[in-house]
Structure 1
Amino acid sequence: MTPAERQRHEQALDWVRRIQDPDFADWEGHALWLESDPANPEAFDTASLLIEDAAEGLEPARAPAPAMPVNDNATAPSPAVGWRRWTAGLGLAAAASIAGLVAIPALLPGGGQPYAIATAPGEHRTVALGDGTQVALNGDSLIRLDKAKPRLAIVERGEAFFTVVHDAAHPFEVRAGDTTFRDVGTAFDVIRTGDSTEMAVREGAVMVDPAGMALRLDGGQSVRIAAGGAIVRNADPQTIGSWRQGRLLYRDAVLADVAADLARSIGQPVSVDGAIRQRRFSGVIMIDRDRPRMFQRLSAVMGIAILRDGAGWRMALPAR
């Protein structure tokens, strides 16, 4: 082993050790380390699996209790099931190529009629509006725009990240379902799935339903709106919109949400068995074009089974 390889191995072991600390918070630093050298993700995977094998049979640590929602009327998430907290560093080279595609802006067509921009499952696309605002679309997403209304976007389905050029006299608005979001100098993410909408603010602030509840959310806050009402929660700004760089960052997220994010990013269905839908995960998932390899490693670091299920994948309890 060369001195450089030894140093990389020691760094990987140190990251694995640090991530097991319940108070660990430097997910962005970990992601930057993974990206700093093409050999780092493989070294981290090896270190994780070695320690996983060594720890086999030990009682897993319980994840920390989730943060309480911001608003008093929200229902607290289900308690976390005891399991190890790991980070999955998967396929950096493929992730970098995806990130390169995301970074290429495309100018919108002219004309004054409404038009749609859509992505296929697993496809990412970034469009630049006339005022400099940029909209990044995740896989299987659809937004509607209109040159006659340049400060309005409608999210019909999927996920879109907005980096808005602020204009106090002409605020930018995003509509999803029956809800309108108005920017207050902002970078934010909107997810529209079925009859529910989720919005998370990475920077600045957003007014939710300005003509109704007039709820202001600042950076590091999110809201989920469905038939049962609106639930506001704290969110880690570093994790919001991370899919644009070909990686998914999580802090205490339920597996049901992780699966939905994976499905959008890879263009294949990902389901979760009921017994583990509320399990929680903190870490970084690097998207790999080699899906079987990616899920094999993700299965090892999460401590669950991830199985082929028709055209997609299914997360399940491991076989005894």
Structure 2
Amino acid sequence: MPADPRTLAETRAIDWLIRQRDPGFADWDGFADWLAEDPGHSAVYDAMASLDLDLDALPKSAPEPAKPAVVIIPHDAPRRPSRRAWFGGAIAAALVGAVSLSSLGLFGDANRIETAAGEHRTIALAGGSRIEINGGSVIELDKERPRFARLASGEAMFHVVHRDGDPFVVEAGASKIVDLGTAFNVVRRNRATSVAVSEGVVVYNPGKDNVRMNAGKAIDAHDDDKAPPAVRDVDVGSVGGWRTGLLVYNGTPLTIVAEDLKRTAGLDISVAPEAAGVSFRGALIVDKNRARTVADLAALSGTKAARQGDGWTLTR
């Protein structure tokens, strides 16, 4: 009997995950090609990577404390080469270090999570929802409102378990995003909010604009906008692509691309005035060799990249 396509995809995704944990991994082109082979590969890869949130698989050598409202899954946890850890919901056992915010002892405010540029972090919320936070971002939670989060700045991907009569609400500046059972990415920058949906449905500003977005739809809204934002199409596979190091653009200002690379990879890229108006189209793979990523950006945008101290400057 031929193997089920889903099983084959999951096996291949596990192979990629294990290989990418090797510090010497360099086959990002091959990984991008595999993602492009089938729109479903990205979802399968994300599902395999997200199994580390199965808290029931954590070793229980000590008496189990009350389950915290929020746990953090560090993305820089020790690497384990054994494939066995990736099956049966046991990834969490291979990613030691899920801890409650209150016991972490590194934050003055346990309800505020702040990431550095290039740092990625996942938090698991009570009830099964989770938030993947990009670098250079600030998320604020409220212990009195377990189904609420505020994206003060930066970018995050929300995976929400829907509950009838108790929606999950995300605030970002003047924007309010309400889930109807979904996964969606939110970016907050310069008094503007962008939302892209990869699964299910969200409603943007239900009490004002009441814009409904299904999977494959996105909006870009400014705090000062008087009219509801226009809904545009987006490739579902590219939503939250920063999590796997794949950034896809279709007519985005080069300055925004540079900002995204700063947040996602910690790359310090400035854009010279004469190149600020460049509209970028293409896909970027965040390579471990950061110079290669910058070189790809310059080649695809028709600009020149010059090293400036610890960063780069793009010129025409």
User: TM-score under structure 2 normalisation?
Assistant: 0.63
Distance 1:42 1:134 in 2: 29
Of 198, 203, 207, 1:202 maps to 198
Q: State the match for 1:231 in structure 2.
A: 229
Report the Cα offset of residue 253 of structure 1: 3.4
Matched, 1:244 2:243: yes
Matches within 5 A, 1:1-320: 41=28, 101=76, 106=98, 108-109=100-101, 115-229=111-225, 230-232=228-230, 233-317=232-316
Distance 1:155 1:132 in 2: 19
Distance 2:240 2:193 in 1: 15
Q: Which amino acid aligns with 1:284?
A: A
Distance 1:292 1:110 in 2: 38
Which runs of 5 or more residues in structure 2 are unaligned? 1-12, 20-24, 33-48, 50-73, 78-90, 104-108
Q: Residue 252 of structure 2 contacts residue 281 of structure 2 at CA under 8 Å; is this kept in 1?
A: yes
Structure 1 residues 281 and 238: CA distance shift in structure 2, 3 A: farther
Structure 1 residues 108 and 200: CA distance shift in structure 2, 3 A: farther
Structure 1 residues 295 and 155: CA distance shift in structure 2, 3 A: same
Structure 1 residues 44 and 107: CA distance shift in structure 2, 3 A: closer
Secondary structure of 2:128's counterpart equals coil
Report the Cα offset of residue 167 of structure 1: 0.9
Q: Which amino acid aligns with 1:241?
A: G
Report the Cα offset of residue 255 of structure 1: 2.3
Deviations 1:250-287 (A, max 9, x none): 34433233222111112243232344434344433221
Measured on the aligned residues, the alpha-carbon RMSD in Å equals 3.3
Which runs of 5 or more residues in structure 1 are unaligned? 1-31, 46-95
Q: Which amino acid aligns with 2:179?
A: D
Structure 1 residues 193 and 310: CA distance shift in structure 2, 3 A: farther
Deviations 1:99-130 (A, max 9, x none): 9659969454369x971111111100011101
Q: Residue 281 of structure 2 contacts residue 301 of structure 2 at CA under 8 Å; is this kept in 1?
A: no
Secondary structure of 1:308's counterpart equals strand
Distance 1:149 1:114 in 2: 14
Structure with more contact order per residue of length (Cα contacts < 8 Å, sep ≥ 6) = 1
Structure 1 residues 310 and 244: CA distance shift in structure 2, 3 A: same
Secondary structure of 2:144's counterpart equals coil
